[in-house]
Amino acid sequence: MLFSVLGFLLVAGIAFGIGMLGNINRWLSDLPDYTDADEYLVSEPTHILDSQGTEIATFFVQNRESVTADKVSEWVLKGTVDVEDERFYEHNGVDIIGIGRAVLAQLSGRSEGASTITQQLVRNTILSEEQFDQTIERKVREAFIAMEMEKIFSKDEILMMYLNTIYYGHGAYGIQAASKTYLSKNANELTLAEAALLIGLPNSPSYYDPTANPDVAVDRRNKVLGNMLRIGTISQEEYDAAVAEPLALNVTETSDTGISVYAHPYFVDYVKSLLQEEFSTDVLFKGGLTVTTTIDPAIQQAAETAAVENINKYPAANDLQIGMSVVDPKTGHIKAMVGGRDYNADPNHVNHATAKRQPGSSFKSFTLATAIKMGVNPNITINCESPLYWDNPGGEDVRIQNYGNHNYGYRSLASATAVSSNTGYVQLAETIGNQNILQTCKSLGLDTSSMHDVLSMTLGTGDVTTLQMANAYASFANGGEHRAPVAITEIKSRAGEVVYTHKDEKTQALTAGDAAAVTEVLETVMERGGTGVTGNPWIKQPIAGKTGTAGTASDTTDLWFCGYTPQLSVSIWVGHSGTNTPIKNVNNSTMTLPVFKAFMKAVLADAPREEFPEGPTPEYKPNSEWKFSHTKSPEELAAQQQAEEAAKQEEESSDKEGEGESPQAPTTPQPQTPTTPQPPVTPAPETGGTTPTTPQ
């Protein structure tokens, strides 16, 4: 205590000697809060973890990682004191002997520092804005805070504060960051020679940088070892062995962007955007947060492999991009996010999993859900002939056609879904009302801002993301329960306190019975729609889903598939990045569906079978209560069928009477119009607009 008091009096005496003693009270009147340990951590990076606790990214202003004493080599702890402040455990913040020695050195023309470890810590952290001020005021403030610190914190605490904040060069702040930067190992794994190398760097980080001046760095290392030998920290044998050890660096370069990404870059970008909505840049890049996310590394790897390997198979897809999202229906957790083929190859880093595109006929599932919710039975018969026309007052009639203008005749709503009949679904949407469909979309978490109340809305002419689609379909898979997509489950402060924990919040977007009815129809789509997915015994799980294409009368611009099992909901998009350039020579059968199959096989092939939730059968209204603009009543259909049969018999009779003569060329036959549902026989091509172009 006597030495520290004398030290402070010495500094005060110097101030008095130059006539400034009266200013000391003013200098000490506006000191920062030196009682808070966090104030000495000027900048602490934020760590982003996957669901298994593995770090996938770091956001930082300074490359720093604080550790506790048990995470640092004993050689570092002892050697730092030997080199920087050998009387560290004896003084109370200001070293009188050191000051006197420094004065003598100055008088003899030499240079020697007098600052203690505590003073260096104060100067580099809470007084960092003043550290280059060569004034008595700064020295008085520094000395006073150093002495006060020693009353609040233990010596070991102060030493670790110093080791966690000091700059070691090459962008590394703190011993842990330095150890990883220069040697790619943790600070508790350092050998004596490695510890001495790092201990010597803070004195002049750029000059002693071993990556730039290896010989100079080795000389400095050996000087540190000499100090440790002189003080008795190491033996002669340890000194000799360490000095003889060659320099062996294993450098890990740090990003100069303030973000180091170790895995899943598209997802990291997404998480960063979420955090920026809640935290300031200072907190996010300096606050030392630990953010635990929902991404599952095994599921993510399976998704990336399935998506990228499949699209790379086809030379015709060289200029195409892919986006994919995977959501857990039971929690809303985002398990995987594929934003594109190669993050580093795209200078704009567009995340195609969260980019908006037209979903085409994969949107029809929401029209179906709305219809069932309103009491439309999936067995109701709809006219799926093609083309059909709608009145357009003041202009030409609106022409709607199925893909390839396929004439699907009259069939059930379930069957119309399997073949993805545009004409049938436009009638359905017209009958139940677009506003009701939009309300369903909102309840399922879709952004409806680009969805307009027009005839073709049900064909998927609005803009959505794969994340929205996977999340919406997840509600079908989980009994109608909707949860917003979850990317972050927990956030801790740098002190380890939990500042955010995700709480499960759900709404009942559909009844369990309605969701089960939708799923039953979408299971039929997979079984009968020509997708070829459930036709092979590659997975034991029940599967439901719907393809989609969007484009113009002659070109396809977007390929989609949305599918789900009880465990996972998946949405996949393929197209050109940022443009509506036509897609050539590939379709859903070669693009999205194989990705889904490969992914599900990788993650669920060996999983025990689960079943979709069941619910009470919806209360359907009588089919006769629903009127469709182009669909005839059962009585009208029966009369038409009788007339067609009569005409056919008359034609056959006429042919018999004219035997021996050339048969008359028949007129174009009218399509058959059965009143019972007809299962599709061929794949179900469809489109997102009024002019379908690409097969599923």
- Catalytic residues, by residue number, are 84, 361
**Longest pairwise C-alpha distance within the chain:** 137
Burial pattern 400-411, b for ≥16 Cβ within 10 A else e, equals bbbbeebebbbb
Q: HSE-up of 86 (CA within 13 Å, CB side)?
A: 13
Tokens of 198: 């790092």
**H-helix or E-strand spanning residue 49:** strand 46-49
Tokens of 614: 């069941």
Provide the 8-state DSSP code for 353: T
328: nearest Cα among 133, 194, 473: 473
Contacting residues for 497 by C-beta, under 8 A, at least 6 apart: none
Helix (H) and strand (E) counts in the chain = 22, 20
The residue written with tokens 């973000």 in the block is: 259
372: nearest Cα among 512, 518, 237: 518
484 touches 505 (CB < 8 A):
yes
148: nearest Cα among 117, 116, 118: 118
SS3 readout for 616-652: CCCCCCCHHHCCCCCCCCHHHHHHHHHHHHHHHHHHH
Tokens of 569: 């909901």
Grouping H, G, I as helix, E, B as strand and the rest as coil, residue 548 is strand
Continuous H helices in 341-401: 364-373
Continuous H helices in 87-167: 96-107, 117-124, 136-152, 155-165
Report how far residue 572's alpha carbon sits from residue 560's, in angstroms, rounded to the nearest whole number. Answer: 6
Q: Which residue(s) pair with 573 in the sheet? A: 323, 560
Contacting residues for 684 by C-beta, under 8 A, at least 6 apart: 418, 419, 420, 525, 529, 530, 531, 547, 696
Residue by residue, DSSP assigns 408-477 as --EEEHHHHHHHT-HHHHHHHHHHH-HHHHHHHHHHTT---TT--SSTTGGGT-S-B-HHHHHHHHHHHH
